[in-house]
Amino acid sequence: MKSIEQQIQVGFRYTVHFTTDVFARSNPLLRDVLAQDAPAKVLFVVDRGVEIHHDGLSEEIESYCLHFKDALEVAGPALIIPGGEEAKNHPRHLEAVQLAIHEAGLCRHSYLVAIGGGAALDVAGYAAATAHRGVRMIRIPTTVLAQGDSGVGVKNGINAFGKKNYLGTFAPPFAVINDFGFLRTLSDRDWRSGIAEAVKVALIKDAGFFSLLEERAGALGGRDARSMEEMIERCATLHLAHIASSGDPFELGASRPLDFGHWAAHKLEQLTDHRLRHGEAVAIGIALDSTYSYLCGFLAEKDWRRITDLLLALGFAVYTPELNGGIFPGLDEFREHLGGRLTIMLLRSIGDGFEVHEIDREIVIRSIGILKTIDEQEGAHVPVGRNRIG
């Protein structure tokens, strides 16, 4: 018997840029990102919701590319695809992007520039990663959640067989451009939804960041632009630091600390037929796993109360009736998605997460009951006309 063993080391480098009005002629950032391959062949994919709420975006892109025509070679008209989970639930949207890449004649050194929320970026990213085994991808996230979390990471994919992100790849982008200007037209619900991922990363990585979120909860909920920009920058920094330093950027092991609160969240999205936004489901998942940590004796009561108080202050619900029906299969689906044995992140304190490999279902049920009581008490004190997320 003979064996040959080989070890392959592959390095990736990409930059997350922060700017405003990326397609203004006075803003050369995108041109500069692509300048090393001038003229760079580029195909744009745009989230339909972004196109609707940013009147004239297609014309801005066309004008920008014409202004920098020495650096940008547009491969064809921008492809418009749906946003939200609709984009990820139907393979035809993925196929539409792959077909556009084919018809535009993009090569592996060409660029797909995707503009939109996390779901649209996931679809476009999966198409870019699989066409020619990898076309260069530039993400321009347009939501709070995507700018601070999903849009700056290395994953992409679509839903299949009733499961979240069942099909996908690990494929780092060529670059990410966070344009804060796109946040101006977000609904209050989408503005707040993305804050859940900031709460998540603060809880497992940075107690000081959590305190800052407490301090600025009113400003964030009140759409203070500077507070949101600073939150996104810090959230993105923490996510990138974890990806770069965890030793497992492509999640070959069973640990996924950045998915704190997500085992329940992914299942709740499915159970509610995506009535809950991802961030809204994550907020409930955070509340559930924090309450579970408290009931198990891991997390002090004062810390648990700070967590639920912050979620409520930001306008999130901490309970939905679907928690009582069919949530537990989410544990098996989460384990399957991870690989290996079940691994769930819990809390010892704010900013200090740790992993367990078993979950006591009776304590989960007790946790759900407590969250239902909190929700009922909170609902009894919500002033007429105030909208709560969820």
Give 133-146 pLDDT, tens digit per residue. Answer: 999 999 999 999 99
In terms of domains, do 150 and 198 share one?
no
3-state SS, one letter per residue, for 64-117? HHHHCCCCEEECCCCEEECCHHHHHHCHHHHHHHHHHHHHHCCCCCCEEEEEEC
Q: Which of 161, 185, 209 is the last residue of a domain?
A: 185
**155 CB-side CA count, 13 A:** 23
Q: Which of 166, 185, 204 is the last residue of a domain?
A: 185
Q: How confident is the model at residue 253 (pLDDT cuts 50, 70, 90)?
A: low
Q: Which of 169, 185, 201 is the last residue of a domain?
A: 185
pLDDT digits (tens, 9 = 90+) for 144-158: 999 999 999 999 999
Q: What local confidence, expressed as pLDDT, does residue 254 receive?
A: 56
In terms of domains, do 143 and 278 share one?
no
**Separation of alpha carbons 191 and 210, rounded Å:** 18
Q: What local confidence, expressed as pLDDT, does residue 301 receive?
A: 98
- Find the helix packing angle between 225-245 and 195-205, rounded to 10°: 50
Q: Please check whether residue 326 is in contact with residue 271, taking contact to mean a CB–CB distance below 8 angstroms.
A: yes
In terms of domains, do 126 and 207 share one?
no
Indicate the DSSP class of residue 383. Answer: P
- Nearest Cα to 30, choosing from 52, 56, 60? 60
Helix, strand or coil for residue 279?
helix
- Nearest Cα to 149, choosing from 188, 84, 200? 200
Enumerate the H helices of the chain as residue ranges.
Answer: 29-34, 48-53, 57-67, 84-89, 91-104, 118-130, 144-148, 188-193, 195-205, 207-215, 217-221, 225-245, 262-271, 278-295, 301-313, 329-338, 361-380
In a domain, 304, yes or no: yes
Q: What local confidence, expressed as pLDDT, does residue 83 receive?
A: 92
In terms of domains, do 259 and 230 share one?
yes
pLDDT digits (tens, 9 = 90+) for 206-252: 999 999 999 999 999 999 999 999 999 999 999 999 888 876 777 77
State pTM to two decimals: 0.91
In a domain, 3, yes or no: no
In terms of domains, do 335 and 216 share one?
yes
In a domain, 54, yes or no: yes
In terms of domains, do 207 and 141 share one?
no
In terms of domains, do 24 and 140 share one?
yes
In terms of domains, do 198 and 181 share one?
no
**Separation of alpha carbons 204 and 259, rounded Å:** 10
Domain extent for 337: 188-245+252-380
In terms of domains, do 209 and 337 share one?
yes
CATH of the domain at 82: 3.40.50.1970
pLDDT digits (tens, 9 = 90+) for 53-104: 998 999 999 999 999 999 999 998 999 999 988 899 999 999 999 999 999 9
